[in-house]
Amino acid sequence: MAEAERAIEAVWRIESARLVAGLARMVQDVGLAEDLAQDALVAALEKWPRDGVPDNPGAWLMATAKNRAIDRIRREASLQSKQEEIARETGALFAMERSDFEAAADEEIGDDLLALIFTCCHPLLAREARVALTLRLLGGLTTPEIARAFLASESTVAQRLVRAKKTLREARVPFEVPRGAELQERLPSVLEVVYLAFNEGYAASAGEDWVRRDLCEEALRLGRILAELAPREPEVHGLIALLEIQASRLAARHGPNGEPILLLDQDRGRWDPLLIVRGRRALQRAEELPGPLGPYGLQAAIAACHARAIRAEETDWVKIAALYDALAQIQPSPIVDLNRAVALGMAFGPEAGLALLDEIANEKQLAGNHLLPSVRGDLLEKAGRPEEAATEFKRAAELTQNAREQQLLLERAETLV
């Protein structure tokens, strides 16, 4: 009994995304597809403990869901008389009778999964809704799991999901993989969802909540799936390269009491060499495809520079500064410039970094951000101007929201005067 339940849970983890994707292709509605998949799961929970787990559990779930779909559509069709609905439903019925899950080629399953990713990340949906729906339908996460991962209430997440599915249904968003120019236009929104999910987990403090750590792994998994499904897109490889290398530092990012440890102070022996190798390989794939690296690819290349240095002192800052320069050109932002200033300071001396900071000092986006005075303080200290550095650290301490960081900044200011 317990054995069968464990098997069902595992099979569901493995099959649910493909199931929902296959069903969505037939009924052209991800919300309905999810309901049908859930129905099949309920049926499995009834049957498998009694009759044993079938040889091909995925196909069993699909066949069951298909039958439920046909029942449900017939029932609803007899109740509702709106012509349009009937036309749509008979269309769906027709599509279902033609399709045969077991005969579906690998390529088709891949296409369905990719269509599901693109639908979940549709630009019609707000960013949080996209992330929640993707984790739900692609990752098979439950509503409480998503809520815990994003520190939101269950009812908020549940509502978000319901609204997202409703929006897609009402807009009649076709269930398909966009092609050509539209693909290029919509891909960033997909990549952003994977990136946001990863960062949500990455930003959490170490070991406190395994759900959030698991979120990093889930985002990695989604990114890797995407790289298999869309192998010709350099930014897909760029993104997964970036995530693999960032994930390699998970065990080194926090001290025993959960305090954050900055990249250059991390114990590099704790970096995961397997993930670094995987990240580098993904970066290489991105580089080998035609065209220059995109924003994710460049960030991955920067991360790879850090990963390559066995000790922090061996970091190739000249190369990192050049990569930030390229990033600033294709994706200009004061935050990128701030990082570029750090790199310039490390590569060519503090004056070079300070000069760039002067250029961006009045950027609106940096107003009230503690990073600007904090970086400036660091560069001033290195330039042998301790009084000015102390003033900057104090200003940064006033601006930060994080108590621990505030304390560190004040300590630094004090040692200087």
Partner 1 sequence: MRFMMFMYPEIEEKDWGPQEGNVEEFEAMGRYNEELRKAGMLLSLDGLQPPSEGGVVKMTDGKATITDGPFAEAKEVVGGYWLIQARSKGEALEWASRCPAENCRIEVRRVFEMEDFPQEIQDAFEENFGG
Interacting residue ranges for partner 1, rule: CB under 8 A: 6-7, 9-11, 13-14, 110, 206-207, 214, 217-218, 220-225, 228-229, 251, 256, 267-270, 274, 278, 311
Render the burial of 171-181: b for 16+ CB within 10 Å, e for the rest.
eebebebbeee
Q: Is 122 or 253 the residue whose CB approaches partner 1 more closely?
A: 253
| Shortest distance, position 160 Cβ to partner 1, whole Å | 22
| Shortest distance, position 269 Cβ to partner 1, whole Å | 4
| Shortest distance, position 72 Cβ to partner 1, whole Å | 29
CA angle 374, 375, 380 (to 5 degrees): 100
| Shortest distance, position 292 Cβ to partner 1, whole Å | 27
Q: What is the amino acid identity at position 231? A: P
Q: Is 110 or 353 the residue whose CB approaches partner 1 more closely?
A: 110
- What is the per-residue DSSP string for 258-274? S-B--GGGS-GGGS-HH
Q: Is 223 or 373 the residue whose CB approaches partner 1 more closely?
A: 223
Distances (CA, A) of 288 to 190, 284, 404: 22, 6, 43
How far apart are the C-alpha atoms of 81 and 86, rounded to whole Å?
7
Q: Is 31 or 223 the residue whose CB approaches partner 1 more closely?
A: 223
| Shortest distance, position 300 Cβ to partner 1, whole Å | 18
| Contact predicate 65/40, CB 8 Å | yes
| Contact predicate 351/376, CB 8 Å | no
Helix (H, G, I), strand (E, B) or coil at 254: strand
Q: Is 232 or 311 the residue whose CB approaches partner 1 more closely?
A: 311
How far apart are the C-alpha atoms of 342 and 315, rounded to whole Å?
13
Q: Is 269 or 290 the residue whose CB approaches partner 1 more closely?
A: 269
Residue 317 per-residue DSSP state: H
| Shortest distance, position 50 Cβ to partner 1, whole Å | 19
